[in-house]
Structure 1
Amino acid sequence: MPRVIYNTASTLNGFIADDANSLDWLFEVESPDAAHHEKFLAGIGVFVEGSTTYEWVLRQERLLQEPHKWAGYFGDRPTFVFTSRDLPVPEGADVRFLDGSVEDALPAIIDAAGERDVWVVGGGDLAGQFLDAGALDEIQVSLAPAALTGGAPLLPRVVGARTLSLQGVEQRGQFAHLSYDVRRG
């Protein structure tokens, strides 16, 4: 069965985006070797994200103006976007909009993933909804040598120490990459 993994980058003080929902702070940090990301992507069957993340990616990468770039980022994998609004879709992209609870959407997401895993790309609240539904299996966070005074939090939930089990720590360039399994029950 596919695992549901929240994999993201965060500032040292726990923000994934600044007050303007920008990731400019992240791109100031030297990128680690792409091999880790490619290995991770090889195991992913589905992307899941909230509308803020989706719209940011569309703008940042100019995917509506240059839809051919979509395949370079997402391949032929479906992308599920949780939103209550009508949003544009790059030509040729497999984007599926969901309006409702994670619990209700989970069977379709898992089915679309096949034998591969589900990547909850962001945001933090959406990852929290997966956690609330008992559907989050793993949290991977790459801590950047940066801090912000505010913005979108990594995981806006109270999560006790008994919920997470540290599975790995490694240096990836200027990032500290942490992996946690989510304990259930």
Structure 2
Amino acid sequence: MTDIVYYTASTLNGFLADASHSLDWLFSVDNAGAPDIAAFMDTTGVFVEGAATYEWVLRAENLMAEPRKWQQFYGDKPTYVFTSRKLPIPAGADVRLVNGPVTSALADIKAAAGDKDVWIVGGGDLAGQFLDAGALNELIISFAPAALTGGAPLLPRSVGPERLKLRSAQQHGQFAMLRYEVLATGGAA
């Protein structure tokens, strides 16, 4: 069964990126013992991102000038980018630009994932849209020992405890990884 998973890193006070959409705060954290992203990627068949996340990756990794690097990050897996604009796509990358509500692309995204999971890479509002649609199955959040005064929020929604069930809490070096199952509205497991 294909699950839709929002897997991200956050500051202690719930920001994904700073006010300039930068992740510099994250890369300044000692990553010794950090979660094994490669193992998670093996379970993933499709990536989903918002335009700000996608554009940050393009800039940070210089992917338009060095498109061969795309494979290091995404391999041959499709990436759905939700945007209202025409965005550049690195040569050879399987990037599918989507405009509209997540529900309109959900069937295509799940079909492209096959028997693997869908990874919502970011941002928080996009993950919130999947949550609003009842399509988000799991949250995996690696909290880092950092705080920002503002920026892109982790999940800009009101979500009560009846919607989330803690499945695990682990230390990975300087990161605290929490895994939550997303429950149906009002449900308990």
* TM-score band w.r.t. shorter chain: over 0.9
Structure 2 residue aligned with 1:88: 88
Greater shift, 30-39 or 163-172, is seen at 30-39
CA distance in 1, matches of 2:9, 2:35: 16
Contact 1:141–1:177 (CA under 8 A) maintained in structure 2 = yes
TM-score by length of 1: 0.98
Structure 2 residue aligned with 1:73: 73
Structure 2 residue aligned with 1:123: 123
Q: Report the CA distance between 1:79 and its aligned residue.
A: 0.2
Question: Aligned pair 1:149/2:149, yes or no?
Answer: yes
CA distance in 2, matches of 1:81, 1:31: 27
Q: Report the CA distance between 1:31 and its aligned residue.
A: 1.3
TM-score by length of 2: 0.96
Letter in 2 for 1:171: Q
SS in 1 for 2:180: strand
Q: How many residues align?
A: 185
Structure 1 residue aligned with 2:136: 136
Contact 1:145–1:175 (CA under 8 A) maintained in structure 2 = yes
SS in 2 for 1:162: helix
Structure 2 residue aligned with 1:15: 15
Q: For residues 37-75 of structure 1, what are the alpha-carbon distances to aligned partners after superposition, in whole Å with 9 as ceiling and x for unaligned?
A: 111000000000000000000000000010010001001
Contact 1:46–1:118 (CA under 8 A) maintained in structure 2 = yes
CA distance in 1, matches of 2:33, 2:72: 17
Q: Percent identity?
A: 61
Aligned-residue CA RMSD (Å): 0.9
5+ residue gaps in structure 1?
Answer: none
Q: Report the CA distance between 1:34 and its aligned residue.
A: 6.4
Structure 1 residue aligned with 2:26: 26
